[in-house]
Amino acid sequence: MTHRERVLKAINHEEPDLVPIDLGSTDNSSIVKEAYDELRNYLGMDPTNSGLINRNMRVVDVDDDVLDYFQTDVRGVFPGVRSSVVHIDENSFKDEWGIVWIKRPGVYYFEQSTFPLSGDISQSDIINYKWPNPDDSNVIKGLEEQVIKIRDSFDCAIVLNSGSMFIHKSQFLRGFQDWYLDCGMNVKRIEILFDTILDIRIRMLKKLLSEVGEEVDIVEVGDDLGTQTSLQVSPDFFRKSIKPRFEKYFNVIRQFSPDLKILFHSCGSIEPILGDLIDIGVDIINPVQVSAENMDSAYLKEKYGGRLAFWGAIDTQHVLPYGSPDVVKREVERRIRDLGKGGGYVLAAVHNIQPGVPPKNIVTMCKHAKMFSKNFYKE
């Protein structure tokens, strides 16, 4: 099979010849710069100035030589940096939503330093806020070229990264304490904020789809809803205030092309709402945080397999950073056995690979996945 055929077969719940693997097709399945530099050195590859696909998390646009080495099956295309982003200095910037991010000494990531819509705000404050321009042409700059390169040179499945919908953005703007209080005590205000952001995000999505939607296979969307042990909000609040708005966003993708697969990213324990996500059109979940409550891979496959595909599941909290290569091999085999039977599984790390993960464990994960699954799918 070609790389693309392998991915499409798997996410359509048919068994491929090998398990598809991903490293870097989304900004939640890549690798932090310091870990990436160490990996390249371990592989005997020259250093590169690979760009970042997410500045806050400092994850890289993985180079073709690394992707070729691991024979990855899927590649991502990423919107351009919006013209309203303000570069303050090397360690600080203001994003298109008006939020300032800073990187402190000794810290790998950019952290939020301002919460522009925190406090006792009114509906007027929300409406009159300086919102980003959804028609910014920078968002599609270079997208078509990215797609053409992948189609012509690699024949991988292509993921269009559309970004988060409205949960992240509303939390960043409102501040987490005010956000949670609104969900419990001022639902009208938080829903006005949700809708304002969602309308902008939908216009941005339509611009992306109009540019390359006919050429990609999967659209990635996301909004974290889970913690290590539970949802961030009650299932009831999700169903009343979040689910209908997610569905509105997903419907834009479905109306553009019913063949596009929706890859939904949320960290944490989200099992209580997986059925709801299936109901509104989600085809694939990522990162399948197997260390979180009720996210055991065998349980998820038994309950949702055939209706939902799984993308990720190789534990990054314990196994990849602290396990030996033999432990990594056992992890790979376990997740392929749990999630891969009958198709429905793309193997990747649970979220981005962090600094401190031994390069030999990354190599073991990718190489052993291909080796083990070759025999697994012959059984």
**Are the beta carbons of 81 and 88 closer than 8 angstroms?**
no
Q: What pLDDT shows up at residue 379?
A: 72
Strand ranges inside 63-151, DSSP E: 74-77, 86-89, 92-94, 100-102, 111-112
- Between CA 314 and CA 285 the distance in angstroms is 14
Q: Does the bond joining 134 to the residue before it have cis omega, within 30 degrees of 0?
A: no
Q: How many CB atoms lie within 10 A of CB 269?
A: 20
Q: What pLDDT shows up at residue 196?
A: 98
Residue 314 phi, psi dihedral angles, 5° rounding = -85, 115
Angle, vertex CA 192, rays to CA 187 and CA 194, nearest 5: 90
Question: Any idea what DSSP says for residue 309?
Answer: E
**Are the beta carbons of 16 and 1 closer than 8 angstroms?**
yes
Q: What pLDDT shows up at residue 85?
A: 94
Residue found by looking up tokens 């995000």 in the block: 201
- Between CA 224 and CA 150 the distance in angstroms is 29
On the CB side of 184, CA atoms within 13 Å amount to 8
Encoded amino acid at 286, one letter: N
Length of the chain: 379
Domains of the chain: 3-84+121-376 (3.20.20.210)
Q: How many CB atoms lie within 10 A of CB 123?
A: 12
Kindly list the averaged pLDDT for each block of 10 residues, start to end, along the chain of length 379. 97 98 98 98 95 95 97 96 92 96 96 97 97 94 94 95 96 98 97 98 97 97 96 98 98 96 98 98 98 98 97 98 98 98 98 97 98 92
Question: Any idea what DSSP says for residue 52?
Answer: E
Helix (H) or strand (E) holding 305: none
Encoded amino acid at 23, one letter: L
Structure tokens at 276: 């709801």
Q: Angle formed by the axes of helices 187-212 and 167-174, to 10°?
A: 130
On the CB side of 285, CA atoms within 13 Å amount to 31
Angle, vertex CA 101, rays to CA 312 and CA 88, nearest 5: 130
Q: What pLDDT shows up at residue 236?
A: 98
Residue 92 phi, psi dihedral angles, 5° rounding = -160, 150
